[in-house]
Amino acid sequence: MKYHTKDEERIKKTVEILTCERFSHNYIISRREAQEVSGLNIVEPDDELTTLIVDLFNAYNDILMMDKPYNPEVILGTDNQKVSEFNRAIIESINLTHVFRTKKEIRRVEVSQPGIPHPVIGYQERVLQEEWMEDNTI
């Protein structure tokens, strides 16, 4: 925040609100609330900018599959073992795109449990690679 304001009291108040008065890390802060909480210059986008923002969100949604719950059955399909990659975060600048990507092996296994006559289907997952990488194909 020190890049945006030199008002130490405003910084302290904003940090207090965001770290102590909000009940969850995934609490969504609206533009209006961001303005009230931080006093920063929050811009209300016009229709054209709103469309661009929504288009960008939808592009990230496609890349990160944010609207699809993780389900190993869907990934495995008819295979009992598969290696898959998952894009988990993106940082973009004018000329670079970096993606946090996880590569993992997923296996469908049968697990016997005491007192249950038939094995239960379970999944083993092993992370093979996890890193930030440059990927300008996105």
Q: What are phi and psi of 72, to 5 degrees?
A: -60, -30
> How far apart (Å, rounded) are the C-alpha atoms in residues 123 and 110?
8
The pLDDT tens digits of the residues spanning 14-34 come to 888 777 777 666 777 888 887
The pLDDT tens digits of the residues spanning 57-87 come to 999 999 999 999 999 999 999 999 999 999 9
φ/ψ region of 115 (left if φ > 0, alpha if ψ in -120 to 50, else beta) reads left
> How far apart (Å, rounded) are the C-alpha atoms in residues 136 and 93?
11
Indicate the pTM of the whole model.
Answer: 0.68
DSSP summary character for residue 95: S
pLDDT above 90: residue 138: no
Alpha helices in the chain (DSSP H): 8-16, 31-38, 47-64, 72-76
Predicted confidence at residue 102, as pLDDT, reads: 97
